[in-house]
Copies of this chain bind each other. A is one copy, B any other.
């Protein structure tokens, strides 16, 4: 039985892609089950609740050699702890290719699109399989989430076409309204502990020389209510400080992305992070906040610049 899962600190794409891909594989005669590598965020909870779906079970430690399918990630730093001991049979992803290797020829499907859901829809259509209504809503939700309803520069025409195709199957008349409801659910952070806020959409990236990389933790909070987040700035900086020490990181950043105004103001822990943001992006930090302008995509506008900054010239 193939274990299908997305990255740690799962977002809506990581969870829904696992559910949809496991279902697709089962329909194609490949026994598969979806799992998650962490707690659901409020947006994903909203999406699953509307469909009366249970969250996939939390993945427990897998025995070496267990056959797995990765969705929405491929780097070991974002996956289950012993990924290198597992047998990766399949990957469906839309991120850069990291440190993954396989012992045997795998099935890989990567496309430079905004969302794994967009690729999963293609897999249905290529297999001449109808899209089930629930799966349609899961894929559509993931695409709206990952692309911030087409605001993110990661958006491609394929993502727009996928939403156009999926909306009627999912029974969604007004996509804009549905996206705003999703984003409102995501922004309703209530009394979530600061540690949870930091790690909600958080990935560790190894930068620089692969033989001795320096690891940076990059968190993002996408919200329609940035004022709420900055109201908890002191707590969040303390959580960042703790994460940096506990995980032995070289730096930690938390980008607060204002979805509706498409801006990124990033929390900056110390002079180390301030120096890097200044040298890599020309960003000025004031009172622990750096203005990163309209760089709202970690994948497209933050990580490549940082990668380049940390990579020594050949």
**Contact residues of A with B, CB < 8 Å?**
64, 85, 93-113, 122, 126, 210-211, 299, 304, 307, 314
Contact = CB atoms under 8 A, between A and B. Distances in A.
Nearest to A101: B97
B101 A112 contact: no
Given A64-B314, A122-B126, 15 more contacts: A93-B105, A96-B101, A96-B102, A96-B104, A96-B106, A97-B102, A97-B108, A98-B101, A103-B304, A104-B112, A105-B110, A105-B112, A105-B299, A106-B110, A107-B110
6 contacts: A93-B105, A96-B102, A101-B210, A105-B299, A107-B110, A107-B112
A111 B64 CA distance: 23
Given A98-B101, A103-B307, A314 B85 contact: yes
A248 B108 CA distance: 33
Nearest to A84: B314
A270 to B, nearest CB: 27
A96 B103 contact: yes
Contacts of A64: 314
Residue from A108, A122, A314 having most chain B Cβ neighbours under 10 A: A108
